[in-house]
């Protein structure tokens, strides 16, 4: 197994030299690191490695001009070079949104390659395997490379160092971790998958799958088409199962992986529209109860070491809205409170008052926006880090809503709860920049006729018309 030799690149001239070397390769491994890497979560490091074990770590946080002036953009977009990645859509989305790089030509996604092979064997909803799982199948000796302090590293940035990948200079620990993720991809895993795809006649279908998976992150038409296809497949599996099941069928008795995954993906709201028999509703609720059991066990086992994810937070919030099953809603509410407590403590521990809102994960932003409701700009009852970040998130949310409204004034909806929130920003004790932006946005919405300025009421003792969050709802 080839051990990596790494070179950190943080200058345009050095980047050009590195790209010249990389262009001689037939294929390269590509990965990236960032702070809650996403469309908005900043990419800070781009890794590109060769089959011989040479890995370039491009410090794009220090020198973003390397993409355009250093030749990285052209290199990544060219169609002649095979770029091997794991879960390419995550890196591609960040590259497209932050640096204008369209990474879609000649991409081999090792995750999607394995999923395509599973589809050939009958899986209709294959799960997205982790890189360690991929290596276990196609190159077991690479697993050790990935397991070196990987769990502790991920716990570090999930629990104590939220901005870990924005630290500079890069530590030896960071360099080794980043390089290993690239070396794991090539050459063994890539070549084994490439041959298997060719032998099974799946190459063309796989290439289409990769292109679609990447483009759905930034192309609404592709996303809508794929969602329609996925929904049709889901409904087909559900109806086939409904034809052979009956009211005595229990969720724990279902063994077909396709049916199990379909039940997980099936929305409660779709049950009636699909014309499914009444017992199917019971099956769906049994699946939800099973998921709650898993969450309870996980929380009990890990305690404060539990790492809240966006999937868990969104699922729990939805479960709390199931009014027809108050028992489920109550269980979910208790779990949500536990998870939110852990999430709150994590935010206090891993961020600082200087942390930017873009460094937060999506579920952290949602939590700070909806659960932290300060009464004053410097509310002493709220931890200073949490307070500062909550105001920053609210300001970013306001900026985003203003952009959406200006881009499509007629199609932008304004709920009464959101209008009240804006008026609270206008009249309450909030940071000056937030107040100024809320004033501008409300004025713009009034000009559009989307909100009406309320009549002035008598104020007593310095009280404001809108001085609390109590009636804002979910805005």
Cα gap 317→22, rounded to integer Å: 47
**Do residues 6 and 45 make contact, with C-beta atoms less than 8 angstroms apart?**
no
**Do residues 438 and 426 make contact, with C-beta atoms less than 8 angstroms apart?**
yes
pLDDT tens readout for residues 185-240: 999 999 999 999 999 999 999 999 999 999 999 999 999 999 999 999 999 999 99
pLDDT at 3: 64
pLDDT tens readout for residues 280-308: 999 999 999 999 999 999 999 999 999 99
Task: Let me know if 375 is exposed, middle or buried by CB neighbors in 10 A (0-12, 13-18, 19+).
Answer: middle
> How far is C-alpha 31 from the chain's CA centre?
16
pLDDT at 148: 58
Residue 471 has pLDDT above 80, yes or no: no
The DSSP secondary structure of 293-313, one letter per residue, reads HHHHHHHHHHGGG----HHHH
pLDDT at 270: 86
Cα gap 142→187, rounded to integer Å: 11
pLDDT tens readout for residues 42-86: 999 999 999 999 999 999 999 999 999 999 999 999 989 999 999
- In CATH terms, the superfamily for domain 5-218 is Ribonuclease H-like superfamily/Ribonuclease H (3.30.420.10)
Domain boundaries of the chain, sorted by first residue: 5-218, 228-306
The DSSP secondary structure of 386-406, one letter per residue, reads HHHHHHHHHHHHHHHHHHHHH
Cα gap 48→69, rounded to integer Å: 17
pLDDT tens readout for residues 84-113: 999 999 999 999 999 999 999 999 999 999
Residue 466 has pLDDT above 50, yes or no: no
- Average pLDDT of the residues in 145-168: 85
Listed residue (10, 71, 58) closest to 32, CA to CA: 58
Listed residue (174, 93, 172, 183) closest to 131, CA to CA: 183
pLDDT at 457: 52
pTM: predicted TM-score of the whole model, two decimal places = 0.91
Cα gap 306→155, rounded to integer Å: 10
pLDDT at 336: 98
Question: Which residues, at least 6 apart from 209, have a Cβ–Cβ distance to it below 8 Å?
Answer: 112, 115, 116
């Amino acid at each position: 197994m080839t051990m990596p030799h790494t070179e950190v690149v943080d200058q345009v001239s050095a980047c050009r030299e590195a790209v010249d070397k990389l262009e001689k390769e037939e294929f390269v491994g590509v990965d990236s690191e960032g702070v809650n890497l996403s469309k908005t979560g900043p990419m800070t490091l781009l890794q590109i490695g060769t089959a011989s074990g040479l890995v370039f770590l491009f410090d794009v946080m220090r020198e973003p001009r390397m993409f355009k002036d250093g030749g990285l953009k052209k290199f990544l977009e060219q169609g002649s070079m095979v770029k091997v990645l794991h879960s390419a859509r995550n890196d591609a989305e960040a590259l497209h949104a932050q640096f204008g790089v369209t990474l879609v030509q000649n991409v081999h996604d090792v995750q999607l390659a394995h999923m395509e092979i599973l589809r050939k064997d009958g899986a209709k909803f294959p799960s997205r395997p982790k890189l360690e799982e991929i290596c276990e199948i196609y190159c077991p000796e690479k697993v050790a490379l990935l397991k070196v302090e990987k769990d502790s590293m991920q716990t570090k940035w999930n629990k104590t160092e939220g901005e870990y990948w924005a630290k500079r200079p890069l530590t030896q620990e960071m360099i080794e971790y980043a390089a290993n993720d690239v070396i794991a991809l090539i050459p063994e895993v890539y070549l084994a998958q490439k041959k298997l795809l060719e032998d099974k006649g799946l190459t063309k279908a796989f290439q289409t799958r990769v292109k679609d998976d990447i483009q759905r992150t930034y192309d609404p038409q592709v996303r809508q088409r794929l969602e329609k296809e996925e929904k049709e497949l889901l409904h087909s599996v559900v109806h086939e199962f409904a034809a052979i099941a009956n009211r005595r069928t229990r969720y724990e008795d279902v063994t077909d992986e396709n049916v199990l995954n379909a039940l997980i993906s099936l929305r409660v709201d779709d049950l009636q529209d699909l014309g499914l028999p009444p017992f199917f509703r019971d099956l769906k609720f049994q699946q939800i109860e099973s998921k709650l059991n898993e969450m309870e066990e996980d929380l009990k086992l890990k305690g404060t070491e539990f790492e809240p994810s966006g999937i868990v937070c969104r699922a729990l919030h939805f479960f709390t809205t199931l009014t027809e099953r108050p028992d489920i809603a109550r269980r979910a509410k208790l779990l949500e409170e536990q998870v939110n407590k852990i999430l709150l403590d994590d935010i206090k521990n891993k961020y600082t008052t200087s942390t930017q809102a873009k460094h937060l994960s999506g579920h952290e932003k949602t939590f700070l926006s909806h659960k932290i409701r300060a009464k004053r700009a410097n509310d002493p009852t709220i931890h200073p880090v949490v307070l500062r970040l909550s105001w920053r998130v609210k300001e970013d949310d306001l900026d985003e809503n203003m952009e959406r409204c200006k881009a499509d004034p007629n199609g932008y909806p304004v709920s009464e709860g959101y209008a009240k929130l804006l008026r609270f920003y206008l009249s309450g004790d909030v940071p000056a920049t937030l107040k100024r932006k809320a004033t501008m946005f409300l004025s713009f919405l009034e000009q559009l006729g989307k909100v009406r300025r309320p009549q002035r009421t008598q104020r007593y003792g310095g009280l404001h018309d809108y001085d609390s969050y109590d009636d804002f709802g979910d805005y």
